[in-house]
Amino acid sequence: MAQPIEDFLAMLAAERGAAANTIAAYRRDLEGAEDAIGNLAAASRDSLASLGAAWSGLAPASVARKASALRQFYGFLLDEGLRQDDPSAALPRPVTRRPLPRILGHDDVETLFAQAEREAESERSEAVRLLTLLELLYGSGLRATELVSLPLSAVPRDAPFLTVTGKGGQQRMVPVSGRAKQALSRWLAIRPEGHFLFPSRGGHLSRVRLFQVLRDLAARAKIDPQKISPHVLRHAFATHLLEGGADLRVLQTLLGHADIATTQIYTHVDSARLVALVNERHPLAQRAGRD
């Protein structure tokens, strides 16, 4: 790996507070581009233009992500005086649309919880841990990384909140439901020793393992495992709160979104309520009712 790339990644960590997963993603994209065209720091516009063909089999969103990483890298080189020109204009600019989140219905959520609660009645450590994980994913809307990396100190003794460190090292307070608090109490009474809330072999439970235990639970609950993931449960948290009348700004805070435009994607699921609201509250609708 060329030194300019290492310096760029170090800048992401130090100045932008980028998370380890974000830095790893940038590294993969930059390494892949360098494998394709050689030294990125010295690459020409023609070399960058050739990446369009190399990426032709990728989805537009993947191409856009890779091109964005390269554009930021060349912006860094300019700022540091390591290049006098920016060749990134030659990179492809695919038209992408933000995909709508996969939605889990209320019935599936209830079925999933019923299965987890039945299994937790055994008081087996793995079953109680799984119920606690499920409660925090759906009840508090945590990201997978935020959840598995929670230190034990994030759980307060009295206040019904968790202190969560999200993307970019930003901290936020996340409310814990009464149900989740009960599950947490059960788990804290039997959890192994360790710095993390969900310890595992000297560290914490991995994101991959979290993904696996959720899909295994879905299979036991007779739900298609492909429908279930930590992120789908986070989407369900947001969607169902919005259906219940939650304010979009409040939802933005709970999810830890830096930009409310990211949160607004959830508004599409509440279209039926919005149509009813217009029919009931719009002045012309009220006038038609009087007529």
Catalytic residue among 45, 179, 257, 273: 257
- 222 catalytic residue (yes or no): no
Cα–Cα distances in Å, from 135 out to 83, 117, 123?
A: 50, 10, 16
**DSSP-based three-state secondary structure for 104:** coil
Secondary element (H or E) of residue 52: helix 51-54
Q: Pick the catalytic residue: 45, 65, 83, 167?
A: 167
CA dist., res. 44 & res. 220, Å (int): 54
Cα distance between residue 14 and residue 32, in whole Å: 23
Which residue, among 97, 81, 255, has the nearest Cα to 170 in the 3D structure?
A: 255
Catalytic entry in 26, 74, 138, 266 = 266
Q: Is 282 a catalytic residue?
A: no
Q: Rounded to 5 degrees, what angle do the CA atoms 264, 112, 103 make?
A: 25
Q: Let me know if 231 is a catalytic residue.
A: yes
Write out the DSSP string of 148-213. HT-BGGGS-SSSSEEEEE-GGG-EEEEE--HHHHHHHHHHHHHPPSSSBSSEETTEE--HHHHHHH
- 3-state per-residue secondary structure call for 244-262: CCCCHHHHHHHHCCCCHHH
- Residue of 65, 71, 172, 231 marked catalytic: 231
- Does 234 participate in catalysis according to the annotation? yes
Task: Count CB atoms within 10 A of the CB of residue 35.
Answer: 9
Q: Considering 129, 191, 204, 234, which one is annotated as catalytic? A: 234
Task: Identify the residue whose tokens are 């939650």.
Answer: 246
For residues 285 and 291, give the distance between their C-alpha atoms in angstroms, rounded to a whole number.
Answer: 10
> Which SS3 state, helix, strand or coil, does residue 237 take?
helix
Q: Is 143 a catalytic residue?
A: yes
Q: Which of 66, 143, 235, 240 is catalytic?
A: 143
Catalytic sites, residue numbers: 143, 167, 231, 234, 257, 266
